[in-house]
């Protein structure tokens, strides 16, 4: 008998067939409305959920799935999964640490270069017939100072690329200092921002990191500093960031994530010159997607095979 799996996301081409071959019947609820109006008959069949950290699964949603046994977060993030509620119901929760580190680190450098060299803005200017007027002098990235908030595996890969490829001094802020790190530790976000030319946000989302980059941090980053966010939109105070960009209080920002995504604040739409936006796609390389899907399948196979899952989330 096949196992009912509810998908909050649409797996890439080829992966639904792999789930079907592994013994799962897929049901989809990829929008908030679909999740809120799930057919009770289908809800009663669901034994597994595939989601992402920015969608998650609330206690109320779990209550609507009486036979739920396991929740698999596709990537590393699981911030909107109510892990305490899952624990209370003995529902297993897994995630995908390490599956997309390289892709996210690569995308971070793409964003850094794009905002530094005004790639999006100049592309727009050229396409609108302003070739000659657009040949402006732009800063470089080589040798500039990189500050990272959240020196985990992704932060470390970003640091390696920037230090090795661009000769950038690296500093970081963490919950605690890393004893084996070659990078400079700062005891506050503000101190790191004041020192850095680039401030990269690479910390997990969730209530503990809510608006970690606020008006004070942006003020310290200053008019020559750039903010890069490849973590979660909730880590940055959007209102403060918009004001900093509007008043040129920072040099620019490049965001792969936005609080409230996929909705983009209307104020950001016209900020072509000092803001680069991508649609939460940093971790989506073919290799990363394959890593994530294989790990989800492995965790599901382990759970329904009576074995320990590979990458559990502990409440």
Average pLDDT over residues 87-113: 96
Q: Kindly provide the residue ranges of all beta strands, DSSP E only, lying in 105-185, ordered along the sequence.
A: 146-149, 170-173, 184-185
Average pLDDT over residues 73-77: 90
Q: How far is CA 34 from the centre of its chain?
A: 23
Rg (C-alpha) for the chain, rounded Å, is 21
- 28 to each of 8, 34, 130, 183, 312, how far by Cα in Å? 6, 8, 46, 44, 24
**Count of other CB atoms within 10 angstroms of residue 307:** 10
In whole angstroms, give the CA distance from residue 46 to residue 38: 11
* pTM passes above 0.85: yes
Length of the chain: 315
Catalytic-role residue among 125, 156, 189, 232: 232
Average pLDDT over residues 12-24: 93
Q: Which structure tokens are listed for 169?
A: 């001094």
Catalytic-role residue among 280, 284, 287, 303: 280
Which burial class, exposed, middle or buried, applies to 248 when counting CB atoms under 10 A from its CB (0-12, 13-18, 19+)?
A: exposed
pLDDT tens digit string along 151-209? 999 999 999 999 999 999 999 999 899 998 999 999 999 999 999 999 999 998 888 89
Question: Quick check: 54 pLDDT over 90?
Answer: no
User: Which among 22, 6, 4 is positioned nearest to 14, based on CA atoms?
Assistant: 22
Rounded to 5°, angle at Cα 251 from 250 and 252: 95
Instruction: Check if the beta carbon of residue 300 is closer than 8 Å to that of residue 315.
Output: no
What integer best gives the mean pLDDT of the chain? 95
Half-sphere exposure at residue 117, Cβ-oriented, CA atoms within 13 angstroms: 11
Instruction: Check if the beta carbon of residue 86 is closer than 8 Å to that of residue 73.
Output: no
Q: Which structure tokens are listed for 23?
A: 């013994």
The phi and psi torsions of 256 (rounded to 5 degrees) equal -100, -10
Question: Quick check: 239 pLDDT over 80?
Answer: yes
Domain span(s) for CATH 3.40.50.720 in the chain:
3-99+286-304, 101-277
In whole angstroms, give the CA distance from residue 19 to residue 238: 38
Phi/psi region, residue 280 (left: phi>0; alpha: psi -120 to 50; beta: rest), is left
CATH tag, 3-99+286-304: 3.40.50.720
Q: Supply the pLDDT for residue 306.
A: 96
Where residue 315 falls among pLDDT bands split at 50, 70, 90?
A: low
CATH architecture assigned to 101-277? 3-Layer(aba) Sandwich (3.40)
Confirm whether 232 is a catalytic residue.
yes
Confirm whether 261 is a catalytic residue.
yes
Q: Supply the pLDDT for residue 1.
A: 78
């Amino acid at each position: 008998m096949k196992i009912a799996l509810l998908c909050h996301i649409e797996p890439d081409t080829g992966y639904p067939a792999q789930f079907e071959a592994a013994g799962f019947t897929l049901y989809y609820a990829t929008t908030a409305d679909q999740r809120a109006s799930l057919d009770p008959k289908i809800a009663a069949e669901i034994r597994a959920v595939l989601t992402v950290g920015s969608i998650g699964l609330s206690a109320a949603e779990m209550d609507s799935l009486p036979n739920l046994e396991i929740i698999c977060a596709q990537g590393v993030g699981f911030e909107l999964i109510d892990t305490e509620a899952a624990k209370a119901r003995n529902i297993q929760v897994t995630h995908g640490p390490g599956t997309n580190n390289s892709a996210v680190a690569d995308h971070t450098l793409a964003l850094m270069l794009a905002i530094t060299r005004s790639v999006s803005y100049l592309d727009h200017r050229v396409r609108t017939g302003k070739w000659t007027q657009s040949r402006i002098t732009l800063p470089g990235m080589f040798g500039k100072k990189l500050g990272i908030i959240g020196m985990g595996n992704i932060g470390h890969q970003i640091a390696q690329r920037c230090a090795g490829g661009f000769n950038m001094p690296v500093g970081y802020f963490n919950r605690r200092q890393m004893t084996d790190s070659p990078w400079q530790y700062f005891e506050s976000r503000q101190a790191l921002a004041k020192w850095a030319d680039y401030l990269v946000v690479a910390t997990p989302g969730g209530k503990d990191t809510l608006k970690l980059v606020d008006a004070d941090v942006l003020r310290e980053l200053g008019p020559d500093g750039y903010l890069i966010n490849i973590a979660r939109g909730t880590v940055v105070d959007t209102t403060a960031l918009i004001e900093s960009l509007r008043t040129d209080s920072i040099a620019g920002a490049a965001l792969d994530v936005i609080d409230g995504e996929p909705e983009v604040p209307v104020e950001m739409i016209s900020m072509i010159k000092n803001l680069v936006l991508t649609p939460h796609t940093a971790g989506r390389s073919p290799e990363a997607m394959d890593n994530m899907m294989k790990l989800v399948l492995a965790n599901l196979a382990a759970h329904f095979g009576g074995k320990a899952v590979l990458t559990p989330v502990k409440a």
